[in-house]
Structure 1
Amino acid sequence: MRAIIAGGGIVGLTSAIVLRAAGIDAVVHEQAPEIRAAGAGLGLWANALAVFDELGLGEQLAAIGRPAEMYFRDPAGRLIDPPGFSADDHRYLLVNRPKLNALLADAVGHDNIRLNSRLAGYDETDAGVTAHFDDRTSAEADLLIGADGAYSVVRSLLVPGSDAIEHKGHHAWRSVVPPPPGVTIDGSVIVLGEQRTRGGYVPTADGTVYWLVNQFDADPLEGTPKQQALERARFLDTTGWNPAMLALIESSPDAKILHNQIMLVPPLSQWVSRRVALVGDAAHALSPHITAGASLGVEDPLVLARLLTSAPSVPEALAAYQRDRLPHYARVNELSSKVENAATPDEFATGYVAFTHWMLNR
């Protein structure tokens, strides 16, 4: 069996590793001239770490990551620890995105990755699928997997009218920097602030610090990304208890601060056809306030590979995959919305750990 994977991000590369481990000849087509990652730090929860352990990558992943915990504070610095949950529900691994992508690309094998190869369209029949690329080349396979993110070309062809939409007023700013002189960062601090802000910082494995500021219902933006981040970071500290947050942002070069208007993929009624399937953000790009998009996304190809190797045919495997994933992500969206619409920091923290508990123990 042969699979073409559109997209060389975390989920696309993981898809190739999973499928090849299952005996399926998988080739990744990435539109960029190199395997790279937009963004800075990435949190991987225990469910994702279990996938990578199964693929034999657990030790390599641990070497590029730093264990961290997701506990929230309110804007006055009070720690919020909702009752009824264990420490395991708060633990994750913070990894560097570019290092993770490089690790996964090595595991796929660079001979199995085609760069500068952007999908333009596809034709499918009962017998297989032919993928067409911008450079006017084509490739035939038994199935095509869309792992090409929130702006997925595969999804736009499979489900017309399903373009990603703005999560209006929802913005994120982030960077990775060394601690500035005189500032000691010896642990994670994540705050649920005023004006629907969230943010904080986490030390990374290489001695740098990953900081993030996020806001729902933001007013129209003014100034540089650094000025925008500083303005919102002040909502995270109402008593002067956390000067490190502002110091980290102030020390960040403007060119290294990433700003994003958050985009969402509306819930889809269809993830597959007879020979095409969506995985990861192409199917279910989430708001980052849950910080679990990648952790959930890498489970998709594992489910798909198990069905491809057990079902009588590719179309039957893809149909079973859709039956599994649609209700799963309906529940994800329900839990995510409950967190987003929380009225207080305590409600947000409780909804968040309820989500991670479900994700890790379902």
Structure 2
Amino acid sequence: MRAVVIGAGIVGLTSGIALRRAGIEVVIHEHAPEIRAAGAGLGLWANALAVFDELGIGDEVRAIGKPSEMYFHDPAGRLLETPEFGAEDHQYLLVHRAKLNDLLADTVGRGNIRLATGFNAYKEHTDHVTVRFSDGSSENADVLVGADGAYSTVRSQLVPGAEAQEHPGHHAWRAVIPTSGISVPEDRLILGTHGCRGGYIRTHDGNVYWLVNQFNSPALTGTLKQQALERAVHLEDDGLDDVLSELIAATPEDKILHNQIMLVPPLPHWVSARVVLAGDAAHAMSPHITAGATLGIEDAALLGGLLTPGGDVPAALAAYQASQIPRYAHAAQLSAAVEHAPTPQEFARHYAAFSHWMINQHPAQNWVRA
């Protein structure tokens, strides 16, 4: 069996690893001229780490990350406790996206990755799918995996009219920088006023990752640094703890990443007979739950478990869809409860409820092959 995967991001590369481990020939096509990652820090939860363990690279992933905890504070520094949930519901691994992408690319084998070959279109046949690329070439495969993100071109053909949509007024700013003499004695995630959330987390290599996001943001003005600083004041209680502002002020303008948050609307289907969507291409959600990569890694593992050499591709994809569409409908409900929590305390509680559900109810756990 042969699979073509579109997108050499975290989900596409993990899909390639899982499918190759299942005995399937894989080629990954990436429109960019190099393996790269958009973003900075990335949280991997226990269910994603379990997938990497089963794929044989768990130790390597942990070696490029830092064990962290997702506890929240208010602007005055008070911990927002969630006694109904255990410590395991707050624990995750913070990794750098680019380092993880490099590790995954090395694992799948860079000879199995075709760079600068963007997806153009596909045509399904009874027993295979023909995929055409931007350079005029084409390939035949048994299955096509669209792991090409929120702006997926595979999705645009599979589900016409399902373009990514702006999450109105939802913006995020972040960067990874050296501490530069700024004292960062502990990690701090803060739930502030005016719809602002953010904080700072020390990374495994001595740097620090800071982030700010805001729901229902007013129109943006000024530089990226000015925008982030304007929102940081809503996360600091009368200047008693201004570490976040110090970190932002010390960040070069060109190192600050800004995103208008985009969402993929609920899709009526994720598959056809020989085409399947995975990761953000199928279910991009707000990053306020910091679980997009983890959920996409689950998709990759499930595909690697259901697709088998010589197996029934349409039946495998139908089983994948039957598992994942209801799961993500529930994930969206839990995510919305976090977003619309009326108080910081309820935000923290709903967040812990989401992570508890996610790490205890993941379908991929029984599908990855040893």
TM-score (norm 2): 0.96
Query: Which residue pairs with 2:128 in the alignment?
Result: 128
Query: Which residue pairs with 2:173 in the alignment?
Result: 173
Distance, in Å, in 2 between the alignment partners of 1:252 and 1:302 is: 37
Distance, in Å, in 1 between the alignment partners of 2:359 and 2:58 is: 17
Query: Which residue pairs with 1:221 in the alignment?
Result: 220
- Check conservation: 2:167, 2:260, Cα contact below 8 A: yes
Query: Which residue pairs with 1:211 in the alignment?
Result: 210
Structure 1: 4+ residue segments shifted above 4 A: none
Query: Which residue pairs with 1:356 in the alignment?
Result: 355
Q: What is the CA-CA distance between 1:312 and the residue it aligns to?
A: 4.8
Query: Which residue pairs with 1:101 in the alignment?
Result: 101
Matches within 5 A, 1:1-362: 1-181=1-181, 183-309=182-308, 312-362=311-361
Structure 1 unaligned residues grouped into runs of 5+: none
Distance, in Å, in 2 between the alignment partners of 1:310 and 1:61 is: 28
Q: What is the CA-CA distance between 1:74 and the residue it aligns to?
A: 1.0
- Check conservation: 1:122, 1:132, Cα contact below 8 A: yes
Structure 2 unaligned residues grouped into runs of 5+: 362-370
Distance, in Å, in 2 between the alignment partners of 1:187 and 1:270 is: 44
- Check conservation: 1:211, 1:248, Cα contact below 8 A: yes
Distance, in Å, in 1 between the alignment partners of 2:324 and 2:171 is: 28
Question: For each residue in 1:130-175, what CA deviation from the matched residue of structure 2 results, as whole angstroms up to 9, or x when unmatched?
Answer: 0000100000000000000000000000000000000000000000
Q: What is the CA-CA distance between 1:86 and the residue it aligns to?
A: 0.7
Query: Which residue pairs with 2:365 in the alignment?
Result: none
The DSSP-based 3-state class of the residue aligned with 1:298 is helix
Identity of aligned residues (%): 61
Distance, in Å, in 1 between the alignment partners of 2:94 and 2:272 is: 35
Distance, in Å, in 2 between the alignment partners of 1:310 and 1:64 is: 33
The DSSP-based 3-state class of the residue aligned with 2:23 is coil
The amino acid across from 2:60 in the alignment is: Q
The amino acid across from 2:139 in the alignment is: A
Question: For each residue in 1:250-282, what CA deviation from the matched residue of structure 2 results, as whole angstroms up to 9, or x when unmatched?
Answer: 000000000100000001110000000000000
The amino acid across from 1:215 in the alignment is: Q
Question: For each residue in 1:180-227, what CA deviation from the matched residue of structure 2 results, as whole angstroms up to 9, or x when unmatched?
Answer: 32x222321000000010000000011000000000000000000000
- Check conservation: 1:179, 1:209, Cα contact below 8 A: yes
- Check conservation: 2:22, 2:309, Cα contact below 8 A: no
Distance, in Å, in 1 between the alignment partners of 2:56 and 2:261 is: 33
The DSSP-based 3-state class of the residue aligned with 1:201 is strand
Q: What is the CA-CA distance between 1:240 and the residue it aligns to?
A: 2.4
Distance, in Å, in 1 between the alignment partners of 2:32 and 2:213 is: 28
- Check conservation: 2:18, 2:303, Cα contact below 8 A: no
Distance, in Å, in 2 between the alignment partners of 1:278 and 1:311 is: 21
For these two proteins, the number of residue pairs brought into alignment is 361
Q: What is the CA-CA distance between 1:241 and the residue it aligns to?
A: 2.8
Distance, in Å, in 2 between the alignment partners of 1:310 and 1:135 is: 29
The amino acid across from 2:353 in the alignment is: A
Distance, in Å, in 2 between the alignment partners of 1:317 and 1:310 is: 11
Question: For each residue in 1:327-352, what CA deviation from the matched residue of structure 2 results, as whole angstroms up to 9, or x when unmatched?
Answer: 01011001000001100000100000
Residue range with higher mean Cα deviation, 6-15 or 299-308: 299-308
Q: What is the CA-CA distance between 1:290 and the residue it aligns to?
A: 0.4
Distance, in Å, in 2 between the alignment partners of 1:62 and 1:199 is: 24
- Check conservation: 2:24, 2:309, Cα contact below 8 A: no
Distance, in Å, in 2 between the alignment partners of 1:299 and 1:46 is: 11
The DSSP-based 3-state class of the residue aligned with 1:266 is coil
Q: What is the CA-CA distance between 1:310 and the residue it aligns to?
A: 9.0
The amino acid across from 1:199 in the alignment is: G
Residue range with higher mean Cα deviation, 71-80 or 218-227: 71-80
Distance, in Å, in 1 between the alignment partners of 2:310 and 2:340 is: 40
CA 1:18–1:171 in structure 2 vs 1: closer, same or farther (change >3 Å)?
A: same
TM-score (norm 1): 0.98
